[in-house]
C-alpha cells in the first residue's frame, strides 16, 4: 500500500465528514442567523439511533440514516420553534441555551445508554487498485456531503430556494411579500439538525459512540463554517476537504499533535486576511 | 423551690446528659454507632464519566459487601460521593468539601493523574488517608519519598508507570517480539509510560519501530494508523484507555494490518465493545484481574455482572474495588478508627483484593511486578466467544 496515497485519500474523506456537519451548521447560521451549539448533540443522536437499530437487528446504514433524520427533524423543529425563534435576537442567549440543550442531551444519553463508549460492527472497507483502502464511512461522507451541498447549491439557484435566499438576505422584505419567516426558520433548523443526525448515523460504525462524541465535530465544523463564510455553498466543501488533507498530511509528515495546531494556525491566518470568510464579496478588516 | 436548690440539681442533670451522649460509644449494635464515612472522588460527568462510573460501581460493590459481612469494627460503612468532572480544581475542592463538610474518615480517588495530584494536596493538608486507585503518574508516590511526614497519608493501589512498563515488558519478551510501535493519547502519563517501556525493553534488544501521540482534540487516526502499519512492528502497544482506543483499532484494522495490538486496558476491556471489532488478528488487553485468574477474581466478576448487568473491564473498576477493600481491611486490622493506627496498618499489613494480595513499599506504592510476592496483573486475548487469559501463563 503506498502510504502517502492512503493518507491523501483519508484526508479527503476526513474533510468530507467535516463538510457534512458544516453544511447543516451553515444553513442555520445563514438562514436562522444564530450560532447553534447543539449541532453536535444531533450528530450524537444519529449515532445512537444507528446503535439502537443495530441492537434490534437492523444494520443497514440507510435505515439508520432515515430514522435519524426523521427523529432529529422533529426535535430540531421543536427546538427551533420553542426556543430558538423566540430568543434569536439575543445571540448570547441562543449560544448559552443551545449549549445547555447539548449538555442536557449528553446527560439524557448517559442515563439511557450509560457513560461507557459503545460500538457497532465495523463494515469491511473496499480495497482498490494498488492496495489503497477505501473506508466505507469515508466514501459515504464524501458522496453525501457532495450530494447535500450540491443539492443546496442547486436549490438556491432555482425558484424553490428563493424563500431561503430571501430570508437569509432580508427578513423584513421576505415577511412583506407574505412569506412565513418564522416557519421557514424552524423548518430550516429542523432540516439542518436532520443533516447532522444523518452524519452521525452514517459514521457510527467507524467511531466509538458516547454521550460527548459530538463535541469535537461541532468545533471543527464551526471552524469550517466561520472560515468559509455562507455566501458560496461550495466553499464549505472545498475548505473542509482542504483542511482534512492538511490535517492528515501534517499528522503523517510531522506528528499528529501538529495537525491540530497547523489547522488552527491556517484558520487564524485566513480570518485575519478575510475576516468575513473566504466567500465574502468584499473582504476587509474592521479597522 | 428556691434558686440555690435548683443549682444543687445541676450536677446530677449534667452527669445524666453526659451519660446519654456517651451511651452510643458502648453500644454493640452496628446501627447505633456512627457510620464510617469514606469519600469517593471520581469523574461522574464529562468526557471521563465512563471510567468514573465504573469506579463508583465497583466501589459500591466493595462497600455493600463489607456491610453485608457486618460492617467494619461493628459499624456501617457509608460512601460519600463527589463528582470531580475530570477537572483538577473541581477534584481538589470536592476533596476539601468531603473532608471539612462531610467529615469523611478517608478518601478513595481520584481517577486521572492530574486531578489526583489536586486531591493529594487537600488530603495531606487535612491529614486524611488517601488511597489512589487508578492514577499512575510518578508524582503520586514521589511526595512520600521526598517528604514522608507530610505525604505519608497517600497510598497507591494501582500500578505505577515503571511497574506498568515492567509488566508489559515481560509480556512482550515472552511473545518474543523484536520491534514494537507505541501509539497513544498525548497525555502526561502516556508519555511517561512510553519512555519507561523503551528503557525497560532496551536491555532485551526490543526497540520501538514507531512512536507517536495523538491529540485528543483532533486525533488524526488515519495517518497514525497508516504510519504505524508501514513501520511493520511485531506488535503495536496502544496507550489509551479511553474511547479513542476503540476508534484507533477500527482504523488500524480497516487498513488491513494484521499486526497484534496490546492495549493498556480500559474501553478495549469491555466485552460489548470487543465483540464489534475485527478479531482475526490478535487483540490483547492488559488488566489488573480477570475472570478465571483466581477464585476471588471470578467471584468479583460474577457479583459485578449480577449487580450491573455487564462485565467489568478489569482495570478502572477492579482497582477502585480493591482500593476500598484494602482501606476497609486496614481499618479492621487497626482495630480502631484512628488515622495514625490505620496508616500504620496499611504500611505493615498485607491485604487481599481481587487482583491479589496488596503490600505497600516505603513510598506507599502497592507491589506490582514479577517477584514472588508481587501482584502480577493479567493479559487477555479477545476471541469470538470471549476472552482468554494469555499472561501470565498457567
Q: Domains of chain B, with CATH numbers?
A: 32-159+296-358 (3.40.50.2300), 162-287+377-391 (3.40.50.2300)
Interface test with A, best of B218, B242, B280 (most A CBs within 10 A): B218
Count up the domains in chain A and report the number.
1
Which chain B residue has the Cα nearest residue A116?
B50
Q: How does residue A278 score in pLDDT terms, banded at 50, 70 and 90?
A: low
| A230 within domain boundaries | no
Q: What is the mean pLDDT of residues B372-392?
A: 91
Alpha-carbon gap: A225 to the closest alpha carbon of chain B (Å): 17
| A36 within domain boundaries | yes
Per cent of chain B over pLDDT 70 is: 92
Confirm whether the ipTM is greater than 0.85. Answer: yes
Cα B358 from Cα B376, distance rounded (Å): 11
Per cent of chain B over pLDDT 90 is: 75
Buried b or exposed e, range B14-31, using 16+ CB within 10 angstroms:
eeeeeeeeeeeeeeeebe
Cα B306 from Cα B300, distance rounded (Å): 10
**pLDDT tens digits for B285-336?**
999 999 999 999 999 999 999 999 999 999 999 999 999 999 999 999 999 9
Asked whether residue A282 carries a pLDDT value surpassing 70, the answer given is no
- How would you classify the pairing of strands B207-214 and B179-185? parallel
Asked whether residue B367 carries a pLDDT value surpassing 90, the answer given is yes
Asked whether residue A118 carries a pLDDT value surpassing 90, the answer given is yes
Cα B354 from Cα B319, distance rounded (Å): 8
Q: How does residue B378 score in pLDDT terms, banded at 50, 70 and 90?
A: very high
Instruction: Give the pLDDT confidence score for residue B32 in this predicted structure.
Output: 59
Asked whether residue B1 carries a pLDDT value surpassing 50, the answer given is no
In chain B, what residues touch A11 (CB-CB under 8 Å)?
A: 222-223
Alpha helices in chain B (DSSP H): 3-26, 49-68, 88-100, 113-125, 139-146, 148-151, 161-174, 188-202, 221-230, 244-254, 271-274, 295-308, 318-334, 339-348
Bridge partners (DSSP) of residue B185 are: B214
Do residue A117 and residue B219 have CB atoms under 8 angstroms apart? no
- How would you classify the pairing of strands B77-83 and B106-109? unpaired
From B210, B195, B276, select the one nearest B243 (Cα to Cα). Answer: B276
Of A10, A210, A256, the CB nearest to B219: A256
Per cent of chain A over pLDDT 70 is: 95
Asked whether residue A286 carries a pLDDT value surpassing 90, the answer given is no
Q: What is the mean pLDDT of residues A164-170?
A: 83
Other Cβ atoms within 10 Å of B256 Cβ, number: 14
Which chain B residue has the Cα nearest residue A246?
B220
SS3 for A1?
coil
Alpha-carbon gap: B212 to the closest alpha carbon of chain A (Å): 7
| A247 within domain boundaries | no
Instruction: Give the pLDDT confidence score for residue A149 in this predicted structure.
Output: 86
Q: What is the mean pLDDT of residues B203-222?
A: 89
Cα B27 from Cα B21, distance rounded (Å): 12
Alpha-carbon gap: B322 to the closest alpha carbon of chain A (Å): 21
Asked whether residue B133 carries a pLDDT value surpassing 50, the answer given is yes
Q: How does residue B24 score in pLDDT terms, banded at 50, 70 and 90?
A: very low
Alpha helices in A80-214 (DSSP H): 85-87, 91-113, 136-156, 162-169, 171-176, 181-203
- Give me the domain span that covers residue A12: 3-222
| A248 within domain boundaries | no
Of A206, A252, A260, the CB nearest to B226: A252
Q: Is B365 exposed, middle or buried (0-12, 13-18, 19+ CB in 10 A)?
A: buried
Say if residues B214 and B224 touch (Cβ distance below 8 Å). yes
For B239, half-sphere exposure in the C-beta direction (CA atoms, 13 angstrom radius) is: 28
| A246 within domain boundaries | no
Residue with cell 478575510: A274
Q: What is the mean pLDDT of residues B361-377?
A: 90
Contact pairs from chain A to chain B, CB under 8 Å:
131
In chain A, what residues touch B223 (CB-CB under 8 Å)?
A: 7, 10-11, 248-249, 251-252, 256, 259
Between the ranges A112-116, B30-34, B215-219, where is the mean pLDDT highest? A112-116
Asked whether residue B359 carries a pLDDT value surpassing 90, the answer given is yes
Higher local confidence (pLDDT), A227 or B237? B237
Q: Is B388 exposed, middle or buried (0-12, 13-18, 19+ CB in 10 A)?
A: exposed
Which chain B residue has the Cα nearest residue A12?
B222
pTM for this predicted structure? 0.86
Q: How does residue B16 score in pLDDT terms, banded at 50, 70 and 90?
A: low
φ, ψ of residue B254 in degrees (nearest 5):
-55, -40
Other Cβ atoms within 10 Å of A274 Cβ, number: 18
Question: What mean pLDDT value characterizes chain B?
Answer: 90
Q: Does B271 touch chain A (CB under 8 A)?
A: no
Amino acid at each position: 500500500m503506498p502510504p502517502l496515497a492512503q493518507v491523501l485519500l483519508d484526508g479527503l474523506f476526513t474533510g468530507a465528514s467535516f463538510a457534512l456537519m458544516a453544511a447543516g451548521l451553515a444553513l442555520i447560521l445563514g438562514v436562522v442567523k444564530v450560532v447553534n451549539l447543539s449541532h453536535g448533540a444531533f450528530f450524537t443522536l444519529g449515532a445512537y439511533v444507528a446503535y439502537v437499530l443495530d441492537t434490534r437487528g437492523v444494520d443497514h446504514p440507510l435505515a439508520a440514516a432515515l430514522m435519524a433524520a426523521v427523529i432529529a427533524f422533529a426535535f430540531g423543529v421543536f427546538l427551533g420553534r420553542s426556543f430558538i425563534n423566540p430568543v434569536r435576537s439575543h445571540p448570547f442567549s441562543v449560544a448559552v441555551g443551545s449549549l445547555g440543550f447539548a449538555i442536557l442531551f449528553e446527560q439524557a444519553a448517559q442515563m439511557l445508554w450509560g457513560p461507557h463508549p459503545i460500538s457497532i460492527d465495523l463494515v469491511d472497507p473496499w480495497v482498490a487498485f494498488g492496495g489503497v483502502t477505501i473506508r466505507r464511512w469515508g466514501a459515504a461522507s464524501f458522496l453525501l456531503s457532495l450530494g447535500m451541498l450540491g443539492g443546496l447549491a442547486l436549490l438556491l439557484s432555482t425558484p424553490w430556494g428563493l424563500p431561503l435566499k430571501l430570508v437569509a438576505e432580508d427578513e423584513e422584505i421576505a415577511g412583506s411579500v407574505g412569506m412565513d419567516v418564522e416557519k421557514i426558520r424552524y423548518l430550516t433548523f429542523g432540516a439542518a439538525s436532520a443533516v447532522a443526525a444523518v452524519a452521525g448515523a452514517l459514521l457510527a460504525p467507524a467511531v466509538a459512540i458516547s454521550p460527548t462524541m459530538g463535541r469535537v465535530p461541532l468545533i471543527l465544523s464551526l471552524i469550517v463554517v466561520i472560515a468559509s463564510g455562507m455566501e458560496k455553498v461550495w466553499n464549505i466543501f472545498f475548505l473542509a476537504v482542504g483542511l482534512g488533507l492538511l490535517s492528515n498530511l501534517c499528522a503523517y509528515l510531522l506528528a499528529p499533535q501538529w495537525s491540530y495546531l497547523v489547522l488552527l494556525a491556517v484558520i487564524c491566518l485566513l480570518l485575519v486576511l478575510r475576516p468575513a470568510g473566504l466567500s465574502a464579496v468584499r473582504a476587509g478588516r474592521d479597522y | 423551690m428556691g434558686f440555690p436548690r435548683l443549682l444543687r440539681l445541676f450536677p446530677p442533670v449534667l452527669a445524666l446528659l453526659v451519660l446519654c451522649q456517651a451511651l452510643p460509644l458502648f453500644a454493640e449494635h452496628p446501627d447505633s454507632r456512627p457510620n464510617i464515612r469514606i469519600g469517593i472522588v471520581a469523574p461522574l460527568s464529562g468526557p471521563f464519566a465512563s471510567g468514573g462510573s465504573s469506579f463508583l460501581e465497583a466501589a459500591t460493590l466493595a462497600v455493600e459487601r463489607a456491610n453485608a459481612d457486618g460492617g467494619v469494627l461493628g459499624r456501617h460503612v457509608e460512601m460519600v460521593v463527589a463528582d470531580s468532572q475530570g477537572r483538577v480544581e473541581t477534584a481538589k475542592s470536592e476533596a476539601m468539601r468531603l473532608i471539612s463538610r462531610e467529615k469523611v474518615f478517608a478518601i478513595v480517588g481520584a481517577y486521572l493523574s492530574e486531578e489526583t495530584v489536586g486531591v493529594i494536596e487537600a488530603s495531606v493538608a487535612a491529614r486524611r488517608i488517601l488511597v489512589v486507585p487508578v492514577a499512575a503518574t510518578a508524582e503520586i508516590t514521589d511526595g512520600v519519598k521526598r517528604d514522608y511526614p507530610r505525604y505519608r497519608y497517600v497510598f497507591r493501589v494501582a500500578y505505577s508507570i515503571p511497574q506498568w512498563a515492567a509488566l508489559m515488558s515481560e509480556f512482550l519478551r515472552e511473545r518474543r517480539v523484536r520491534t514494537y510501535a507505541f501509539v497513544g493519547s498525548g497525555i502526561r502519563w502516556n508519555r511517561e509510560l512510553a519512555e519507561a517501556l523503551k528503557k525497560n525493553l532496551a536491555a532485551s534488544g526490543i526497540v520501538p519501530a514507531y512512536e507517536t501521540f495523538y491529540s485528543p482534540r483532533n486525533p488524526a487516526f488515519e495517518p497514525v494508523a497508516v504510519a504505524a502499519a508501514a513501520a511493520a512492528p511485531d506488535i503495536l502497544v496502544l496507550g489509551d484507555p479511553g474511547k479513542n482506543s476503540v476508534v484507533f483499532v477500527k482504523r488500524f484494522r480497516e487498513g488491513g494490518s494484521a499486526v497484534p495490538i496490546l492495549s493498556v486496558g480500559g474501553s478495549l476491556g469491555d466485552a460489548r465493545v470487543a465483540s464489534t471489532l475485527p478479531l482475526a488478528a490478535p487483540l490483547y488487553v492488559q488488566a489488573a484481574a480477570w475472570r478465571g485468574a483466581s477464585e476471588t477474581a471470578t467471584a468479583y466478576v460474577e457479583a459485578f455482572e449480577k449487580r450491573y448487568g455487564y462485565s467489568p473491564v478489569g482495570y478502572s473498576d477492579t482497582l477502585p474495588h480493591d482500593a476500598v477493600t484494602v482501606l476497609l481491611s486496614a481499618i479492621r486490622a487497626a482495630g480502631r478508627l484512628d488515622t495514625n493506627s490505620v496508616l500504620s496498618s496499611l504500611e505493615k499489613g498485607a491485604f487481599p483484593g481481587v487482583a491479589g494480595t496488596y503490600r505497600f513499599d516505603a513510598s506507599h506504592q502497592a507491589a506490582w511486578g514479577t517477584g514472588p510476592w508481587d501482584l502480577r496483573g493479567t493479559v487477555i486475548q479477545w476471541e469470538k466467544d470471549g476472552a482468554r487469559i494469555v499472561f501470565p501463563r498457567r
